Amino acid sequence: MPRGIFITFEGLDGSGKTTQIKRLAAWMQKRGLDPVVTRQPGGTATGERIRTLLLESSSSQIASMTELALMFADRAQAVGEVINPALAAGKVVLCDRFTDSTEAYQGGGRELGSELVLALHQIVCGDLQPDLTLLLLPPLKASLARARHRNERAAEQTGKDENRFEQEQDAFYSRVWNKYRAIGSRESERVVLIEGNLNIDEVCEQVVKAVSERLVLREAPSSNLPNGLEGL
């Protein structure tokens, strides 16, 4: 069976990743595909426990290296339990965040550096790389405002507080944002940068265009694509 396709979505919280993943999944389902949708941290029972520890505001004393290790513990579980089995079964995998996030947040934001993150990725994840990454980078201030408002509303409605990162200062997020730009430049063959103050429909249009052009119309014969992708 041909290997599936691995698509990741990256960007700051508040960039619209979750909305665009849902839209792309619906777009694929209308064309006879059944993508596997997952997220990091989270996406597995173990990962959801790690997510709570990493994101809840009460986890205020986590050291930067501990945070990095927990991110990769979550990712190792996701790769072994969800991502690799789905790809082996010929599925399309849509993942909300992957190692680019760790490079941006821990490598850039926490100033641990890219070299350490990439070395851990090679060891822990077997250097698994996405086939396509959609990097959503609206203006920094707009992303932060949306993320903080969304998380505050979610905390009021569900009692679940995932605001630990949103408590960071703007300088932290400037480093994250700049590191994302650097990743996009370095990995230009894999990463499609979608930036600017675009509305949901405009971003969705660019996402679908990128998926169509970069995956469906790649030089590989259509017989090597998962069932249903040939007609996208």
Other Cβ atoms closer than 10 A to 13: 23
Q: How confident is the model at residue 156 (pLDDT cuts 50, 70, 90)?
A: low
Over residues 105-121, mean pLDDT: 98
Residue 227 has pLDDT above 60, yes or no: no
At 67-108, the pLDDT tens digits run: 999 999 999 999 999 999 999 999 999 999 999 999 999 999
Tokens for 81, please give them.
């339990």
Q: Please state which CATH number belongs to domain 5-223.
A: 3.40.50.300
Domain boundaries, the chain: 5-223
C-alpha distances out from residue 64 to 43, 108, 188, Å: 22, 11, 28
Residue 157 has pLDDT above 80, yes or no: no
Residue 191 has pLDDT above 90, yes or no: yes
pLDDT at 145: 78
* pTM of the entire predicted model: 0.88
* Cα 22 to Cα 9: distance, rounded to the nearest angstrom: 11
pLDDT at 159: 65
Q: For residues 190 and 133, is the Cβ–Cβ distance under 8 A?
A: yes
Tokens for 27, please give them.
């777009």
Residue 174 has pLDDT above 90, yes or no: yes
> How many CA atoms, within 13 angstroms, populate the side-chain half-sphere of residue 208?
15
pLDDT at 223: 41
Residue 232 has pLDDT above 60, yes or no: no
pLDDT at 216: 59
Three-class DSSP category at 223:
helix
Place of tokens 């932290």: 172
Q: How confident is the model at residue 218 (pLDDT cuts 50, 70, 90)?
A: very low
Residue 152 has pLDDT above 90, yes or no: no
